[in-house]
Chains A and B, each alone.
Chain A
Amino acid sequence: MATQTLPSGKKKESSWALLPSNKLARREAIWFWVFISPWVIGFLVFTLYPILASAYYSLTVYNISSPPRWAGFDNYVSLWKDRVFWKSLQVTSYFTLLSVPLGIVLGIALAVLLNQKVPGVGVFRTLYYLPSLMAGSVAVALLFSWLLNPQFGVINLFIRNLVGTNGLIPLGWNGPRWLQDPNWVIPAYTMMSLWGFGSTMLIYLSALQGVPTALYEAAEIDGANRIQRFFRVTIPMISPVILFTFITGVIGAFQQFTQAYVISNGDGSPAYASMFYNLYLFLNAFRRYRLGMASAQAWILMVIVLLLTVAMFWVSRRYVYYESDEEGGI
């Protein structure tokens, strides 16, 4: 199409021209710009300008009531020295490392099970998906904060009945204090996020159904058992989907906010154990009105997510298998 070359070897169009010279193609290109104009305007006003503006604000002291005052890298320096900032990074990384791989493993495991010609697959699919409809909502955050209550919560009741002092298997473990114990806060949040794993499971289920049966048959003839077939055929064939869910999962986990805000009443308690990165950003921006400082946090977040994404793509090049696609991958 656009890269058609003339016999002389030169490209037909100057590669920077926005509109082709041919009349019909020109008309089509003009319509293209008309159609995508909402996105172009939105991108300039609500994305590009804010990114640049927040870079500028991050170098100022700004509390919205008086104009921003230039401060150089002061915000970044004070964040570097801020123990709560480091704590928020640690909390978020821990949560990401725990919840994303677990979600993927659980999603694949369940998708594989449902793919075994289980009767009523449609019903299972629907019901497993149901929680992910509401997993991020305030209602669910409040529900879990109650389920996880150390004394009256139902989760600890089960634990006590199973392994408690007078339980079925008396190991004397009466369950952790979950959201009240700094060491158990992140596992508790991980549990909440895993509850909504149905959407990941659905993606894997359809990926599994896309793996050609001929590959399994060939592997079976070659003497591969079930486990070998899973690791040598299934996993490589769905590896692009794993990469996709991994990247979106990491980006999502880094933006955890609602549950932590609702459950900890916005203060990251206990002992900053639920001070997620964005919760601290929010507190600096909208409770203390340190908009410059919060902008610096936002920029650091963007750089972290960008580096992580690039790193994940780079590491995955060796492991992810792409079928040839005439569209060039997109």
Chain B
Amino acid sequence: MATTSIEQALPSSKRYMVSKKRQELVIRVIATLICLAGLVIILFPLVWMISTSLKTRAEVAKFPPVWIPAEAQWHNYRDALTGNNRFDLYFKNTLYYSVGATLGETLSCALVAYGFARLRAPHKNKLFVLVLATMMLPGWVTLIPQYIMFSKFKWIDTFYPLIVPRFFGSAYLIFMLRQFYKGLPKDYEEAGLIDGANYFTIWWRIILPLSLPALGAVSIMSFMYHYQDFFGPLIYLSSQKNYPISLGLQQFQAPFGGTAFHLLMAASVVTIIPPVILFFLAQRYFIQGIVVSGVKG
């Protein structure tokens, strides 16, 4: 009781404030501790990945495991990326179709989103509901006819099936960009029209330059997806010269515990570096994009 004498001397409202502040401080400390503990758990697999990538084959097989390799085996990276697995080639292939798909997707989504966000036409809202509805549609439903279509075009084992469809927009990114375009003031169109510009010029000269951050977010999301996509390449690419990294990684898998985990992990680390760097460079836009699409959904 003695320790609370100061508080008792205070008027009751102030005493309430003090105890409330103390309570909040305790909660903040506990919350921070739990968040830190969670972080350790969630980051552990990544740390383990990096640590394994620097071990010798003998260290990998040791049990209980070696946490930090005695000597970092940097040559694992060279060994993993050269040799039988042509990772230089896989990287080139992946970049080739991811960049193509990203460009197509960003451009087409910017066009379509502008139409939906800022131009008026009958039935516009009904059409937009249709756009949103395709977001709910499992991609697997359209898969087989698309495959048959592309095989009739003789596009199997080429990059076309991975790039060309992306030039026709994707519902999710259209939705995100539309949210952004709707936030811009209406005056741009009015001023442009008075100066004799048409809507395409207004879009190209005024709206696009203004929406670079949003376009950045959309193109990063698009790139991340195509860069890591496994399913598309698995179906459409068959010869090893066309393999992307996602199929290349899978080749490390060997039956009966023969997998060279130190090399696999080294290759894995290399493949996740580009998305991670991209994420840190454009973090703000990226997080904004996720938040906008989620909250307004």
Contact = CB atoms under 8 A, between A and B. Distances in A.
A265 interface: yes
Nearest to B32: A118
A110 interface: yes
A283 B108 CA distance: 33
Contact of B120 (A32, A42, A51): A32
B198 A18 contact: no
B203 A286 contact: no
B144 A265 contact: no
A35 B203 contact: yes
B141 A32 contact: no
Given A139-B268, A257-B231, A113 B35 contact: yes
B98 interface: no
B128 A32 contact: no
Contact of B65 (A2, A19, A157): A157
A147 B41 CA distance: 13
Given A38-B108, A143-B268, A241 B294 contact: yes
Contacts of A57: 144-145, 148
A119 interface: yes
A177 interface: no
Interface in B91-129: 108, 111-112, 114-116, 119-125, 127-129
A19 B235 CA distance: 42
Interface string B18-37: 00000000011001101100
B136 A251 contact: yes
B45 A143 contact: yes
Interface string A119-136: 100001111111101101
Interface residues of B, number: 94
A54 B141 contact: yes
Interface in B147-205: 147-149, 151, 165, 167-169, 174, 198-200, 203
Nearest to A298: B141
B168 A130 contact: no
A309 B138 CA distance: 12
B210 interface: no
Contacts of A330: 125, 128-129, 132
A127 B283 CA distance: 11
Interface string B257-285: 00101001101100110011001100100
Interface of A, helix, strand, loop or mixed by DSSP: helix
A36 B115 contact: yes
B224 interface: yes
A124 B35 contact: yes
Contacts of A281: 140
A138 B246 contact: yes
Interface in A197-252: 198-199, 202-203, 206-207, 210, 240-241, 244-245, 247-248, 251
Contact of B228 (A113, A137, A152): A137
Contact of B45 (A34, A144, A248, A301): A144
Categorize the interface residue count of chain A: 35 or more
B122 A255 contact: no
B178 to A, nearest CB: 10
A46 interface: yes
Q: Which 9 A/B pairs are nearest by Cβ-Cβ distance?
A: A42-B168, A35-B115, A203-B294, A50-B142, A139-B268, A50-B145, A29-B121, A53-B145, A32-B121
Given A31-B119, A157-B65, 6 more contacts: A32-B120, A33-B121, A124-B35, A137-B230, A137-B272, A154-B48
27 contacts: A18-B123, A31-B198, A34-B115, A36-B115, A36-B116, A38-B112, A39-B131, A39-B169, A42-B167, A46-B165, A50-B145, A53-B145, A57-B148, A126-B280, A137-B272, A139-B49, A142-B264, A203-B290, A240-B297, A241-B297, A251-B136, A255-B140, A261-B234, A262-B230, A295-B145, A299-B141, A302-B138
Interface of B: 27-28, 31-32, 34-35, 38-39, 42-46, 48-49, 61, 63-65, 108, 111-112, 114-116, 119-125, 127-132, 134, 136-149, 151, 165, 167-169, 174, 198-200, 203, 224, 228, 230-231, 234-235, 246-247, 249-250, 252-253, 259, 261, 264-265, 267-268, 271-272, 275-276, 279-280, 283, 287, 290-291, 294-295, 297
Interface of A: 1-2, 13, 15, 17-20, 25, 28-29, 31-36, 38-39, 41-43, 45-47, 49-51, 53-54, 57, 64, 110, 113-114, 116-119, 124-131, 133-134, 136-140, 142-144, 146-147, 151-152, 154, 157, 195, 198-199, 202-203, 206-207, 210, 240-241, 244-245, 247-248, 251, 254-255, 257-258, 261-262, 265, 278, 281, 285-286, 291, 294-295, 298-299, 301-302, 305-306, 309, 328, 330
